[in-house]
Homo-oligomer: A and B are copies of this chain.
């Protein structure tokens, strides 16, 4: 900002600084790319996310991977916290935005929010060349769970199909899968401890995204570091799940469901 002032780009410091989209010209641009260009080059939703979040073009295999994450995380049924809150709000007769928002607000440490933490852990360990055993045992000593590892229902012999699909894609199209390989090595180690300590969707997205940041040639190491620190990756889940939550809000309206009231018998009134 100081530089911009010095360069005469601004006279008085402005109150707002922004960098992702410019709406002042003939056409809005996303990181400098006009709407017409978006259409001509046959860009997709993944490219738009790349332009608005990372402010750069990413190779096709990378934007396809982003779209894959959006598609695979778009919904996971009506029972999870997010969908449940959206359903309750929609049944209270509230608008789609309010219903969506009530669901989004549940996303966090326990629901949908382990991707950034997994990325931070895998990056630090893999960059430091820690062995999977040292990595897992080190966390254990500090009383920290390995984000990206573990599942309530899935296990060694009953893998999460979404993880398999993501892995397959990365191995086929990515120039390097160093972080993914590391995550799989961690999984091999944790599976010796318990059969449900599989690499979960959050972990798979985290590891493959690290490979995208490291090997696509589009990011400097400092930029990759910054993205992982700020936490861009859970945001993928947030945007993805918005699609499903809106779907649930509209579904309840279509089904004309009445006001939800939790049954008294299912509550323990305690002190």
A residues whose Cβ falls under 8 Å from a Cβ of B: 1, 4, 9-10, 13-24, 26-28, 30, 34-36, 38-39, 43-45, 48-49, 52-53, 55, 67-68, 70-72, 74-81, 83-85, 87-89, 91-102, 104-111, 158, 161-162, 165, 169, 226, 230-232, 234-235, 238-239, 242-244, 246-255, 257-271
Task: Give bound CA distance, A259 to B113, whole Å.
Answer: 13
- Judge whether B107 and A97 touch: CB under 8 Å: yes
- Judge whether B246 and A239 touch: CB under 8 Å: yes
What residues of B have a CB within 8 angstroms of the CB of A255 in the complex?
17, 19, 270
Closest 4 pairs (CB-CB, A-B): A23-B77, A18-B78, A52-B247, A93-B109
- Judge whether B15 and A260 touch: CB under 8 Å: yes
Task: Give bound CA distance, A226 to B250, whole Å.
Answer: 11
Copies in the complex: 4
Report if A247-B21 is in contact (Cβ < 8 Å); known contacts: A85-B102, A97-B98, A102-B102.
yes
Task: Give bound CA distance, A44 to B71, whole Å.
Answer: 7
Contact of A267 among B18, B74, B261, B267 (CB under 8 A): B18
Residue of chain B at shortest CB distance from A159: B26
What residues of B have a CB within 8 angstroms of the CB of A269 in the complex?
18-19, 22, 24
- Judge whether A261 and B71 touch: CB under 8 Å: no
- Judge whether B78 and A21 touch: CB under 8 Å: yes
- Judge whether A78 and B16 touch: CB under 8 Å: yes
What residues of B have a CB within 8 angstroms of the CB of A39 in the complex?
68, 165, 169
Query: Shortest beta-carbon distance, A14 to chain B, in Å?
Result: 4
Task: Give bound CA distance, A43 to B104, whole Å.
Answer: 25
Q: Which of A68, A70, A111, A247 has the most CB of B within 10 A?
A: A247
Residue of chain B at shortest CB distance from A111: B92
- Judge whether B268 and A1 touch: CB under 8 Å: yes
- Judge whether B270 and A250 touch: CB under 8 Å: no
What residues of B have a CB within 8 angstroms of the CB of A71 in the complex?
38, 43-45, 48
